[in-house]
Structures are given as C-alpha cells and as structure tokens.
Amino acid sequence: MSARMLGFLLLIVSIGALRPSVQAESNSKDSLLTADPAWSELIASMEKMHMAMGAVSRSGNSDVDFVWLMIPHHQAAIDMAKTQLLFGKDPQMRRLAQEIITDQQLEIELMQGWLKQRESTQPKENQTPGAKTGKENQR
C-alpha cells in the first residue's frame, strides 16, 4: 500500500473517530442524501476534497506538498460554508461561514501565488521543453 493511500485511509479513520455517528448515518446515505439537501451538499464537498487531495503526487518538498494538500482542504471549507449560508439558520454560524469563505479564499490565493512564484524562480536548465513536472495531476 502506498504512503499516500495509507495517509488517505488514516484521514478517513480519524474523521470517523471524531464523529462516530457519521458511520451509522452513512449506512443509509442514499436515503439521507435525497431527504436532506444540506447534508448532501456537505458530504459532496468532503468527497470532492478527498478526491482532490488523493490526486496530489508527493513532490519531495514538504512545503510544496503542504500547499498542494491545503488548497483542496480550504476549498472544501469554502464549499461547506456556502452550504451553511444556503441552509443554516443560526446567525452566529452564518457569520462564521462568511468569515470562513473570506479567510480561506485569501489563503488559497496566497498559496497559489506562492506556488507560481516558486515555479518562476526554479532553474530552467533542469527542465526540458514539454517535460512533465508531476504537477499535472495536482490541479
């Protein structure tokens, strides 16, 4: 089993350990998804994040790996916060959701800028035209 797959499995297990009721609820997932559109959208955001994070290839640079994994994590937070704004009623949670959208988007922009700046400062002599950098699967 690859290290990436093992990490992904550990993430899933830890999420289940934090909220055991998710496992029981997911057993009747189909009926819940059709019965509760808010829950359906939250779960879809999480699944999209897991897929995106699972597609990231290890670069060998922990800073780069951190950023590539954090971008879909932050995007999932934004997507979930948007769902909260659509379906949530509590004013405090709606305010928190708006703050999450603002803050996480700024952080995504910062990370994307950092990646672009890093790419532009890399020596070009080590790259051949059209060479695959390993980042094709990460976007």
Report if residue 130 sits inside a domain. no
Residue 66 tokens read as: 């951190």
Look at residue 24 and tell me if it is in a domain: no
Task: Enter the pTM of the model.
Answer: 0.65
> CB–CB of 81/101 below 8 Å?
yes
- Give phi and psi for 56, each to the nearest 5: -75, 130
Asked whether residue 42 is assigned to any structural domain, the reply reads yes
Report how many domains make up the chain.
1
Is residue 3 assigned to a domain? no
Half-sphere exposure of 98 (CA within 13 A, CB side): 5
Q: Tens digit of pLDDT for each residue in 70-129?
A: 999 999 999 999 999 999 999 999 999 999 999 999 999 999 999 999 988 876 543 434
In a domain, 88, yes or no: yes
Instruction: Evaluate whether residue 76 is within a structural domain.
Output: yes
Whole-number Å distance between alpha carbons of 117 and 111: 10
Considering the domain boundaries, does residue 77 fall inside one? yes
Question: Does residue 46 lie in a domain region?
Answer: yes
Domain of 70 in residue numbering reads as 33-121
* DSSP one-letter code for 38: H
- Between residues 109 and 6, the one the model is more confident about: 109
What are the pLDDT digits (tens) for 49-77? 999 999 999 999 999 999 999 999 999 99
Q: Which two tokens stand for residue 102?
A: 């603002």
